[in-house]
Structure 1
Amino acid sequence: MTRLETIDRLIDMLVEEMPEYAQEAAAVPRSEDERRALLRALMNVRPPMPASERFLALQDGLLCDEVERRGIVDVSSIKPSALDPRLAVWRGDITRLRVGAIVNAANAAMLGCFVPLHRCIDNAIHSAAGVQLRLACAELMQGREEPTGEARITPAFDLPADYVAHTVGPIVAGALTARDCELLASCYRSCLDAAAAAGCASIASCCISTGEFGFPHEPAAAIAVWTVRAWLDAHEGSGRPIDHVIFDVFSEQDERLYRNLLDGYDDKEE
């Protein structure tokens, strides 16, 4: 079966589950890129429910092939900070990282982003992990909402990571408050706790709350670095396995902020 045939078969199976999208699906042109975008959109809107073994076999094969094409990056190959070798900065697609856990900036429902083809990290992670991730999150949540600053962990399914730590960051609608900063720090600590409890030796975190949730980038980066470093110091020699934390950034602005913090970190600033 060709790649396009696999995509079309998966689309057909999703439309069978969700016939309300049949007309829209039929209108999408036959090019591979457009059909692949349609498949992602249908996966984005699919409710959390079991999928057939045939669907999962085709989906898993497609997603694993795609991450191989994008190029898997092992965290051991990322240059550590000269100031603190436990920390590193990497600019790129977090779904490419082979790491113990990656952090997903989720919303309170913690079921992934239902907006078709949305550019948020929640959508990207769920789209690359497969439909199993939404079902795993739904089974964890049981219809509840996740409090801000806490974290839950699931398998990563078709991602090269072992786990996904899902956390809900603070939403900053006006002036930044001390409570916003406390909650953001709690997100990082909670993700580290969850990953350590799962036995992870490494974790890669996105820039929590700095996208749709409006947390200013500069204080967010400082909180991330200081909180993670304090957690690692506090758990050194305690049997907690995490010894490698990667700050995964998307923009040049965030890369510059994190590199400045890690290259010029001063303990007196704590």
Structure 2
Amino acid sequence: MSNNTKQDERLDYLVEEFKADLDEYKELQTPNSREDKRRILRSLMNIRMPKELSSEVMKVQDEYLTERAAEKGVVNLSDIPVIRDGLSIWQGDITRLSVDAIVNAANSQMLGCFVPMHTCIDKAAPTSITQVYNKRMARCS
């Protein structure tokens, strides 16, 4: 099976799972085009509150997002020239960077942005990361 076919299956699965997870979007009409499905999935991921996902959804999501990252190309820190004293400047899509940390200018709930299709950096984080963060924050309260 080709990567595109497998990736399309993952996309279809994730769209349906994320729709089912959000009561107000269960009946949302799923578009036919790959790009429109990607937009719907991203929007559903953007508005979903951090909570548990099944291990199967997490597995498929990780496979899907890993493949999407590979499609865009990954930039390692060592690929970015050092300007001086360990300082590098990257101008481009920060979701392509393979780095250890990204600082999020979070909202008052420390949950990031919930605007569908907004380009905030926290939208690049997969659901697994937001779940872990949410659990840690809950222990601190």
Pair in the same fold by TM > 0.5: yes
What are structure 1's unaligned runs of at least 5 residues?
146-270
Matching residue's letter, 1:20? E
Shift of 1:144: 7.6
What does 1:42-121 correspond to in 2, within 5 Å? 42-81=44-83, 84-121=84-121
Letter in 2 for 1:87: L
Deviation at 1:66, TM superposition (A): 0.9
Q: Distance in 2 between matches of 1:119 and 1:94?
A: 11
- Code of the residue aligned with 2:16 in structure 1: it is D
Separation in 2, partners of 1:110, 1:92? 25
> Aligned pair in 2 of structure 1 residues 118, 11: CA closer, same or farther (>3 Å)?
same
For 2:56, give the aligned amino acid.
R
The alpha carbon displacement at 1:51 in A equals: 0.8
Amino acid of the residue matched to residue 35 of structure 1? K
| Matched residue, 1:140 | 136
Name the one with the larger strand percent: 1
CA distance in 2, matches of 1:43, 1:54: 16
Alignment partners' CA distance in 1, 2:81 and 2:12: 41
For residues 86-111 of structure 1, give each alpha carbon's deviation from its aligned partner in whole angstroms, at most 9, with x where no partner exists.
10111011121122222222222121
**Alignment match of 1:13 (pick from 7, 10, 17):** 17
- Asked if the contact 2:95/2:121 (under 8 Å) is kept, the reply is no
Q: How much does 1:46 deviate?
A: 1.4
Identity %: 38
Q: Tell me how far apart the structure 2 counterparts of residues 95 and 31 of structure 1 sit (CA, whole Å).
A: 23
**Is contact 1:48–1:131 with CA below 8 Å preserved after alignment?**
yes
Q: CA contact under 8 A between 1:75 and 1:97: conserved in structure 2? A: yes
Between the aligned partners of 1:5 and 1:77, the Cα distance in structure 2 is 33
How many residues are treated as equivalent by the alignment?
Answer: 137
**2: CA distance, partners of 1:48 / 1:89:** 32
User: Residue type matched to 1:5 in 2?
Assistant: E
Structure showing greater relative contact order (alpha-carbon pairs closer than 8 Å, 6 or more residues apart): 2
Q: Tell me the CA shift for residue 140 of structure 1.
A: 2.3
| C-alpha separation in 2, matches of 1:117 and 1:142 | 27
- Structure with more of its chain in helix, by fraction: 2
Q: CA deviation at 1:16?
A: 2.0
Structure 2 length as normaliser, TM-score?
0.86
TM-score, length of structure 1 as denominator length: 0.47
Aligned counterpart, 1:263: none
Which aligned segments of 4 or more residues in structure 1 are displaced greater than 3 angstroms?
Answer: none
Query: Secondary structure, in 3 states, of the residue corresponding to 1:2?
Result: helix
User: What secondary structure, in the 3-state scheme, does the structure 2 residue paired with 1:67 have?
Assistant: helix
1:104–1:122 contact (8 Å) kept in structure 2: yes
Contact kept, 8 Å, 1:110 with 1:137, in 2: the verdict is no
Q: Deviations over 1:27-66 (max 9, x none)?
A: x421000001101111111121111111011100010111
Aligned twin of 1:237 = none
Q: CA RMSD in A?
A: 2.0
